[in-house]
C-alpha cells in the first residue's frame, strides 16, 4: 500500500521493493516495465502489481535468472541484497531488462487477494485495510462507491458497522470541517474513505477493528 501510494509522484524511476517471505523458494524474481518507462523490481508475490496498476499497468515482465548480473554466491535468505538490489542498479545503469532472463506473460504474475466492495442493496460491504498511528481506519471504500448510496460532502451522514461497533459518521471534506470529537468519513491521501474522529481516534471507538475486519456502510438505520 505504501509503495502504490508513493510511485505515482516519482519521475521515471526504477523502484526496488522487497517483502519476501518466500525467499529461497521457487517464487520468481521479477522486473516489470510500466507505462511511462518506469520499472519495478521485486518478488513475484503480488507486492509490485498494485504499484504497476497505479502507473498504468504492466507492459513487460522478465524473470531475473542471469547470475552474471547479481552477486556471486548469493545468500538463500537475502535476495534483497544479492539479487534484487544488483538488478535495480544494473537497470539504472542502462542494462535492458531482457538481459536478466526470459520474458514472462503478465497474466502469470502472482496477485494479491482483492478487497472488493459489494453492493448489498441497503448498504455496501468492504473491509478495514489499514489503521494509521493517528487512529484513522482506512477502508476499501472509495469516494465513488458512495454514489451508489447518494449523498454529498458536508450534508449527509452514514452508518458504519465494523466488528461489534456501530458508528454514525458525517461525510466531510477534511477533519476540521466538523466539530471536535465528530466521527467522520474523509477521503484520505491514498484516495480511500477513512473513518476518522476530529481531534480523536476512531480506533479507540472501534477497539476490536483490525486490517481485514468487515465493514458495512449505509444510510443511518438501513445497514443490515
Q: Is residue 223 part of a domain?
A: no
Looking at 78, 108, 138, the residue that finishes a domain is 108
**Confidence (pLDDT) at 154:** 66
**Confidence (pLDDT) at 84:** 97
pTM: 0.79
**Confidence (pLDDT) at 200:** 95
Same domain, 20 and 97: yes
Q: What is the CATH number of the domain that holds 205?
A: 2.40.30.90
Q: How many domains does the chain have?
A: 2
Same domain, 130 and 91: no
Residue 52 pLDDT greater than 70, yes or no: yes
Looking at 86, 108, 130, the residue that finishes a domain is 108
Same domain, 14 and 85: yes
What number is the average pLDDT over the span 2-16?
Answer: 93
- pLDDT level of residue 116 (50, 70, 90 thresholds): confident
Give the residue numbers spanning the domain of 35: 2-108
Residue 219: burial class (beta carbons within 10 Å; 0-12, 13-18, 19+): middle
Same domain, 104 and 122: no
Same domain, 102 and 154: no
Looking at 38, 73, 108, the residue that finishes a domain is 108
Handedness of CA 42, 44, 47, 49 (dihedral sign): positive
Same domain, 103 and 7: yes
Q: Is residue 224 part of a domain?
A: no
Same domain, 47 and 102: yes
Same domain, 92 and 148: no
Same domain, 153 and 135: yes
Same domain, 34 and 127: no
Same domain, 7 and 99: yes
Do the beta carbons of residue 103 and residue 62 sit within 8 Å?
Answer: yes
Same domain, 99 and 44: yes
Amino acid at each position: 500500500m505504501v509503495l502504490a501510494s508513493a510511485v505515482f509522484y516519482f519521475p521515471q524511476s526504477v523502484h526496488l521493493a522487497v517483502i519476501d517471505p518466500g525467499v529461497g523458494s521457487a517464487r520468481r524474481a521479477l522486473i516489470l516495465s510500466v507505462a511511462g518507462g518506469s520499472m519495478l523490481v521485486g518478488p513475484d508475490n503480488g507486492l509490485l502489481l498494485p504499484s504497476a496498476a497505479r502507473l498504468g499497468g504492466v507492459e513487460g515482465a522478465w524473470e531475473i535468472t542471469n547470475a552474471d548480473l547479481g552477486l556471486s554466491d548469493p545468500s538463500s535468505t537475502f535476495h534483497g541484497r544479492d539479487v534484487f538490489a544488483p538488478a535495480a542498479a544494473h537497470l539504472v545503469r542502462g542494462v535492458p531488462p531482457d538481459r536478466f532472463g526470459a520474458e514472462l506473460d503478465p497474466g502469470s504474475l502472482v496477485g494479491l487477494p482483492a478487497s472488493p466492495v459489494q453492493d448489498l442493496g441497503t448498504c455496501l460491504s468492504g473491509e478495514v485495510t489499514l489503521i494509521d498511528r493517528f487512529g484513522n481506519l482506512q477502508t476499501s471504500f472509495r469516494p465513488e462507491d458512495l454514489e451508489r448510496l447518494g449523498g454529498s460532502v458536508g450534508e449527509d451522514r452514514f452508518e458504519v458497522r465494523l466488528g461489534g461497533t456501530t458508528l454514525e459518521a458525517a461525510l466531510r471534506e477534511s477533519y476540521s470541517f466538523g466539530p471536535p470529537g465528530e466521527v467522520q468519513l474523509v477521503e484520505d491521501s491514498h484516495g480511500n474513505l477513512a473513518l476518522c474522529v476530529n481531534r480523536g481516534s476512531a480506533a479507540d471507538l472501534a477497539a476490536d477493528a483490525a486490517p481485514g475486519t468487515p465493514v458495512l456502510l449505509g444510510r443511518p438505520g438501513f445497514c443490515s
